[in-house]
Structure 1
Amino acid sequence: MERITARNLTNEELFYGHKACGGCGESLAVRLAMKILGERTFASLPAGCMSAVSFIYPNMAFRTNAIITPFASTGAVAAGVAAGLQALGIKDTYSVGFAGDGGTADIGLQALSGAIDRGDQIIYFCNDNEAYMNTGIQKSGLTPFGTKTTTSPAGANLPGSTTMKKNMFEIVAAHDIAYAATASVGYLEDYMMKVEKAKSVKGTSYIHVLAPCPTGWGTTSEITISLAKEAVDCGLWYLAEYEDGEFKLNKNPKEFTPVENYVKKQGRFKHLKDAEIKQLEAARDKKWEKMRRNWVK
């Protein structure tokens, strides 16, 4: 099968006409995934940005079947849809969950864990914009250290969020899932390759894609893609896969671009002092030392 690239990607739109903010990385991730998965896709979305901007009567941004799930239940609902399709004998379909970072790493973790444990035939996307953006920019388990949100304020005594991002990719891999991957809308062909690979997986697959939010990150809409790329290039995000019991790095930079350049472009980080940026760099270096030592390159 010919690999899908930007040059041969279909012009057919299965997710369009939504009301997302300009420059929304999450909507781009969903749009591209739907192009690759095709019209026989059944989407489950919890309460969050993508359901809020897609299901506005009388318009519907999905051209395929899609349903809003309870916030905690994306994995369970997607698994139920897959079971229903199988029971009805409806073949050549995909049951897909699109959830945000809070709906995956916090509120929806139990349902996702159960689906992976059962090996349900679903593809689960975590569209990670690093906070609960739809409800007013609150901290989630995937909010980075030093991020200013409405529930992790920055001031004289606090740097913003005091915790590092929850290691969701490795939490999922610890289930010995059939396939898991990280991606970024800054590296679109890598992302599309991973969606294409997930289509052929027998069992549960999981794709965790970094998707900047101009509103919550305090950035202009036109730098969404370059910022998502810079997150990878400075080492604060990585591109990797887990399959057949092994981790694999898809990109292993010889050197990183400056973390300071990345964070200072964003309003949510503008308060950070040099010492706090060094904390981010130290955590990055520790993580990369482990990956380079233990993962296939």
Structure 2
Amino acid sequence: MIVALTMAVNTLGDKTIVCGATGCSEVTTTKYPASVFRVPYIHSLFENPAPVATGVLAMLKRKKQDDVNVVVHGGDGFFFDIGLALNSGAWTRGDNILYICYDNEAYMNTGAQSSGSTPIGSYTMTTPATSFSTGNLLHKKDLPAIALAHGLPYVATATVGDLSDFREKVKKAAAIKGPRYIQVYSTCAPGWNVEACNAIKVAKLAQETGLYPVFEYVNGRLSSVMKVPNETPRVERFLELQGRFRHLGNNEEGKKIIKRMQKQADENIERFGLR
């Protein structure tokens, strides 16, 4: 996640201003008085990097500096939940901002509580797996679809399993004016109970199974997708590497959830033409 974020900033270059939401990347990269970024970085409240970025744009316009990239970044807790309304406002205004969401599917900075991005069946601290519960019972929000519904000229997904793909999407987004949204699937080894050596493998399997479709839309039209392998892995291969899903094989309700996840993966493959 941090590698993806720093790669994005390095790709955009020195003429970049970053507005960051509270979260894992903020607390690990900008511990006062140091910062991993060599560009201006603004951390405000959890929910409001988007209006702060709008203010930055106003300042740049006044100074006639229209060659500066303005970036809003944060996790899924910010994008899917706490900052959604304010992001929606900026998207509706058409503010020229690049939004980058590192999607680790829970509020990991505060101990792995469920978010609007948490997938069905996942164990979190607020959706525990017990003798009478199979983890999270709610479906993950389709935030790229919400972004597209706002008329954004560029919407894309990526994973930390293929950072070259992510870098190319950042380059493409930088050349487009208006609000742009890139969502990066980011493995959280401690939060997902994944061995660090499997972190990239898990991200790759999310894409290869079809559970996390990787695509890009330009001006509302699907322009490219990352295909799944001809021998597409079953979702069980993705699930078995993660402790957050390990309980699903223990009872019939959990096995039903696995079938629902496989159905979702198959539908994604059909919907986006991934095969």
Q: Answer whether TM exceeds 0.5 for this pair.
A: yes
Aligned residue number for residue 244 of structure 2: 268
Residues 243-258 of structure 1 mapped to structure 2, 5 A cutoff: 243-253=218-228, 254-258=230-234
Aligned residue number for residue 91 of structure 2: 116
Aligned residue number for residue 6 of structure 1: none
1:283 equivalenced with 2:264 (yes/no): yes
Distance 1:165 1:173 in 2: 17
Asked whether the equivalents of residues 210 and 268 of structure 2 are also in contact (C-alpha less than 8 Å), the reply is: no
Superposed displacement of residue 95, structure 1:
0.5
Asked whether the equivalents of residues 97 and 122 of structure 1 are also in contact (C-alpha less than 8 Å), the reply is: yes
Counterpart AA for 2:176: V
Distance 1:83 1:221 in 2: 42
Asked whether the equivalents of residues 133 and 216 of structure 1 are also in contact (C-alpha less than 8 Å), the reply is: yes
Counterpart AA for 1:44: C
Q: Which runs of 5+ in 2 are unaligned?
A: 250-254
Asked whether the equivalents of residues 211 and 228 of structure 1 are also in contact (C-alpha less than 8 Å), the reply is: yes
3-state DSSP of counterpart to 1:60? coil
Counterpart AA for 2:88: S
3-state DSSP of counterpart to 1:180? strand
Q: What is the aligned counterpart of 1:106 among 50, 57, 81?
A: 81
Asked whether the equivalents of residues 154 and 180 of structure 2 are also in contact (C-alpha less than 8 Å), the reply is: yes
3-state DSSP of counterpart to 2:14? coil
Aligned residue number for residue 33 of structure 1: 8
Superposed displacement of residue 249, structure 1:
4.2
Q: Which runs of 5+ in 1 are unaligned?
A: 1-25
Distance 2:33 2:268 in 1: 47
Residues 47-196 of structure 1 mapped to structure 2, 5 A cutoff: 47-196=22-171
1:197 equivalenced with 2:178 (yes/no): no
Distance 2:61 2:190 in 1: 40
Identity value in percent: 39
Segments ≥4 residues shifted beyond 6 Å: none
Structure with greater helix share of residues: 2
Counterpart AA for 1:227: V
Counterpart AA for 2:198: I
Aligned residue number for residue 216 of structure 1: 191
Aligned residue number for residue 252 of structure 2: none
Query: Given the two structures, how large is their TM-score scaled by the length of structure 2?
Result: 0.93
Residues 227-274 of structure 1 show CA distances to partners (whole Å, capped at 9, x for unaligned) of 211110011111111112212341232442121111110111111123
